[in-house]
Structure formats: structure tokens, C-alpha cells
Amino acid sequence: MKLNDLKLNLDLALGDPSAESTALLPALPGRGDMIAGKLLFLIVALLMCIGVVVVYSSGAGWAEQKFSDPQYFLWRQLTFAATGMAVIFGVGMVDYHFFRKISKLFLFVSIGLLALLLLLKMAHVYHGAARWIGFGPLKFQASDLAKYAIIFHFSRLLAEKKEYIRDLHDGYYPMLVLLMIVVALVALEPNFSTASLIGVIGFMLMFIGGVRLKHLLMTALPLIPIAGVFAIAAPYRVARLMAYGGGEHQLSYQVRQALLGLGNGGLFGLGLGASKQRDLYLPLSYNDFVFVIVGEEYGFIGAMVILLLFAGLFACGVIIAKHAPDLFGRYLAIGVTFAIVFFAFINIAVASHLMPTTGVALPFISYGGTALLFNSLGIGILVSISRYRKKVETIERAHALLESKGGAS
């Protein structure tokens, strides 16, 4: 290849970070964000391994009762974890700007699926909560798709509208309308807790992206009482709030058993498979209250290990966001990191009776495939962002080298 042709390819790559010409150049050693990407992968692998062990320990009795197979949850969780690792590897090799290109399609598909669930519920095809969509074993929660669709599209809009994001009509209102549509559709499933968390993620991204604080506050002030009325509209949500704030004598059965389980663990725990709460006393011990089983079987030390792993995940995500090559990558990394860690915090806070009971799973540890695979998608994107900076640095150095050679000749 001629020197001028190679310079042209480098110029195109620098002007468009997603240009395929980056593949022309060899990789140079990465720096802090590359280390963060590798450490992030290790942390998630550890969380998945812990999840397989804890799900088997907490779910064997329930699996024996429901499916006559104590290893039912074990093999399914192993399959989910292996698939999740494959997703991280695959997405980590993809240019993360791909998600910028499909963000609008991704969002409209998720809105369409949420609306379809609501229509099916109104047609009495679904009775009760309408959250899952698909056929047979190929089902997923549409709210998980919507959560990442909001992160993708808001990251794109914040990067593209940087010059006028503080404008009320051109910057803030269009994003607010999209967020409220998604939040309302998820809330009507009904899934109030997930709808609230998606709303928090959207407002957090807008705040970090430069939306005026007064605009956000002006929106939050009327939304808080509306959300409060919606929360108390359902008897089961009122019962959860009463159980949380009504004192020890009004604790719900789940909360009481969760606190007993955490207390049983002490400092070092009862040991693997020795939980007393998992089979007879604590419903969904392998899902919503899996942190209780960690605390009971591995004690305060085991619970702290989980907290430290999520703290490490958060630190790695922040480092990757800080060193992202562009604004889209920065907002995307912040959104994905915050979403995963925020859901983990909510789950642990509920298990510890620091918040009212919700149906939020513990990322990478709770039983289930939908949330694990979507969160693996998020981790793969973080890995992609950390790797992409190395490509940009490679291009810049090669460009400088070519210019110095051209000047010398």
C-alpha cells in the first residue's frame, strides 16, 4: 500500500471512529482502561461462578419439589452463564458504535413490544402481570430490552445534541417524551419497580449529559406525587409499604425470613448448602432473595465479597467511561455501569430491609436467563469501549509516524 493511501485511510478512521480502516493497523499495548476492561471481565466471571453455586445451593430443594430434579436450576444457570460469557466475548469484539446506529430501531422495537404486551393484557390473553414475551423457552422480559434501549438511544442523543441539550424544547422535551412512554408502558404491565428504575436511569443520563437541573426538578415535582398515587393503587404494593414502615410487628413474611437468614449467617456463615431458610421458609430464595442465602451460608464475609465485587465493577465502568474515545462511548459506559450496579444495590437493600420489597434480581447471581444475558450485553459493550481506545491510540501514533516519515522524505 502506498504512503498516501495509508494516510487517507488513517484520516478517515480518525474522522469516523467506526471506520473499518482501523483494522489495517496492529494493536499497541493498552493503558488503564484496557486493564479495567480485563478486570471487569474477571469480576463478572467471578459473579457468574458465585451465582451458579448459590443458585444450586438455594434452589435444589425447590427444584426437587417442582421438577423432581434437584439439579434443574444448576444446569439451566450453567447454560445461562456460559451463554452470557459468549455474549461478552462476541459483543466485546464488535465496534460499540454499532449500537449507536441501531439505537432508534432498538428503542422503537422495545416500545412496540411493550405496547403489544399491554394490548394482549387488555384482550385477556394475559391475566395478571404481562411482562414476558416470546414462545416456549424463548421468552424474555420486554422491560429488560427497554432499559438498554433507553441507555443506547439517550447516549446517542446526548452526544449528538451536545450543543443544544440545555434547550428546553429542542433538547429536553424530546428525550423526556421517549422516557415517559417507556416508563408508562412498563408501569402498566404492571411493573412499578422496574419502571421507576428505568426512569431514574434516564434522568441520571440526562443530568450527566448536561440537561439543566431546574428542568429535571420541574419534571420530578409533579411526577413524584403521580408515582405515589400509582404505587398505592394496588393493594399488594400498599402491603409492601406498610410492611416496610410499620415496625417489626408488621414485617411481611418474606422480610422476616430474610432478616432471620442474614442473622443466622453471623461472621463466617453456616457453610455451603447449610442454609435453614432456603427450602421451607424463604420463597424465591434462588432469585429475588439470593443475597440472603449468600449471607446465611457465607456470613458477613461472603456478603462483603459480593459488595466489593460490585464496587469493583462500578470502578471499572467509571474508568472505562472516563477514557472513552468519544461522548457516545462515555455516556454509554456510564449508563450501562449505573444500570447494573443500581439494580444490584436495590436487590441487596431489599434483602437487608433497607427498602420496600421489589422484584429486582441480583445481576449475574440470581437465577434467570433474560436479565443475565442483557447484562452480559452491557458488559460486552464496556469491554468493546475499553478495547476501542487502544485502536484510536494506535491510529493516532501511526498517523504521527507516517507524517514524520513524510516530512523526512
pLDDT tens-place string over residues 31-51: 566 789 899 999 999 999 999
What is the DSSP track for 1-26? --HHHHHHHHHHHHHSTT-GGGGGSP
Count CB neighbours of 126 within 10 A.
17
Domain annotation covers residue 236 = yes
* Domain span including residue 358: 30-408
Of the pLDDT bands very low, low, confident and very high (cuts 50, 70, 90), residue 7 is very low
- The pLDDT score that the predictor gives to residue 62 is 80
CA 120 to chain centre: 27
CA 26 to chain centre: 32
- The pLDDT score that the predictor gives to residue 246 is 60
Q: Into how many domains does the chain fold?
A: 1
Lowest mean pLDDT among 55-59, 114-118, 195-199, 306-310: 55-59
Quick one: average pLDDT of 326-344? 96
pLDDT tens-place string over residues 140-195: 889 999 999 999 999 999 999 888 888 888 889 999 999 999 999 999 988 888 99
Domain annotation covers residue 224 = yes
Domain annotation covers residue 335 = yes
What is the DSSP track for 145-211? HHHHHHHHHHHHHHHHTTTTTT-IIIIIHHHHHHHHHHHHHHHTTT-HHHHHHHHHHHHHHHHHTT-
Domain annotation covers residue 287 = yes
Domain annotation covers residue 378 = yes
Domain annotation covers residue 12 = no
Domain annotation covers residue 262 = yes
What residues contact 222, with CB distance under 8 A and at least 6 apart?
Answer: none
Domain annotation covers residue 189 = yes
